[in-house]
Amino acid sequence: MTQHGTLGVAVIGAGRMGADHVRRLHEVTSGARVAAVADVDAERAKAAADGVEGCQPYTDPAAAMACPEVGAVLIASPGPAHEAALLAALERDLPVLCEKPLTPDAAAALRVLRAEQRCGRRRVQVGFMRRYDAELQELKALLDAGELGRPQMLHCRHRNASLPAFFTEQMLINDSVVHEMDQVRWLLGQEIAAVTVLRPPRPYAPGALRDPQLVVFETDGGVLVTVEIHPACGFGYQVQAEVVCERGTARVGDAHGLLVNRAGRWGGGIAPDYVARFATAYDRQVQAWVDAARCGEAVGPSAWDGYAAAAVCEAGLRAQATGERTPVELAERPALYG
């Protein structure tokens, strides 16, 4: 904590997400300030810190966490660096908001769980920001109220306008569908028990990514879930979900904002990317984390949720490679995570 009860935050990673979180903490979030920024690129760390009075740049995450003004940590570095940063923060008993993935693999996530359990309380919130989206929260409330009866099926669509050159088929699961993995578990209150991935025939271009793909989840509560992942649809960014229940259906994500009728056409805008589509959800997520951290609490997606997503990702990658239905292997849930 810093002066007047303000939470001093060390932001680890100053790339696109890290820089956006620095801006968010500095300009949007109340009750917090950016006290330190760490990045392996010293110039990038300095550039992110320069716009914030009193913020110190570092190249070593542990050194940033050791800054006297730091009372919490926001991790936005690449996934392979998360485990070390998480363990360092937990060693200091600091509250953490960690962008997904918690870790790139389930074994590393279990090590983080064990470290958090040694703290004796939850300290980690995972950045599955969709839980803070107003439309998805409304859908969650509807399902929890039981007005439509039990869910039977859930249809999800996840579309991007285009992909960077480095994107691989495996990243469709680990970087994209991982959001649906958490969304499904949260909306339904059920674990994902098995994964199947269906792919179109190979494209004519050698090495080209097979796009779109259909991912099928089976939950331990008997719900069937389909996820259309279409990472290069060409027209914009869309996240949609429709639940089919015993007594009705409900759908979100159609972006029914401003609709215009003009020159024989009707329509509206489509978000260009995830930053625009979920800008408000990111703001609400960080504010909720700060509010909880200032009270010594943790809310939102837990380290267990991060571990469960990693376990489903591993099953998803096997299913993608083999084309076969693949069971999800989950450890027993520790008491700390209810």
Is there a contact between 184 and 216 (Cβ–Cβ < 8 Å)? Answer: no
Q: Which residues of the chain have pLDDT under 50?
A: 2-3
**What is the predicted pLDDT for the residue at 3?**
43
Please give the angle made by the CA atoms of 262, 268 and 272, to the nearest 5 degrees. 140
**What is the predicted pLDDT for the residue at 209?**
82
Q: Which CATH superfamily is domain 135-277+310-337 in?
A: Dihydrodipicolinate Reductase; domain 2 (3.30.360.10)
Q: If 0-12 CB within 10 Å is exposed, 13-18 middle and 19+ buried, where does residue 261 land?
A: exposed
What is the distance of C-alpha 59 from the center of its chain? 25
Pairing of strands 192-198, 326-327: antiparallel
**What is the predicted pLDDT for the residue at 254?**
86
Q: Which residues share a beta bridge with 155?
A: 226, 242
Tokens of 68: 């006297």
**What is the predicted pLDDT for the residue at 35?**
98
Tokens of 83: 């485990």
Could you state, in order of their start, the residue ranges of all structural domains in the chain?
Answer: 3-130+280-301, 135-277+310-337
Is there a contact between 309 and 191 (Cβ–Cβ < 8 Å)? Answer: no
- With b for 16 or more beta-carbon neighbours within 10 A and e for fewer, the 34-47 pattern comes to bbbbbbeeeebbbb
- In CATH, which of 3.40.50.720, 3.40.50.620, 3.40.710.10, 3.40.630.30 is domain 3-130+280-301? 3.40.50.720
Interval 199-247: pLDDT, tens: 888 765 556 788 899 999 999 999 999 999 999 899 999 999 999 999 9
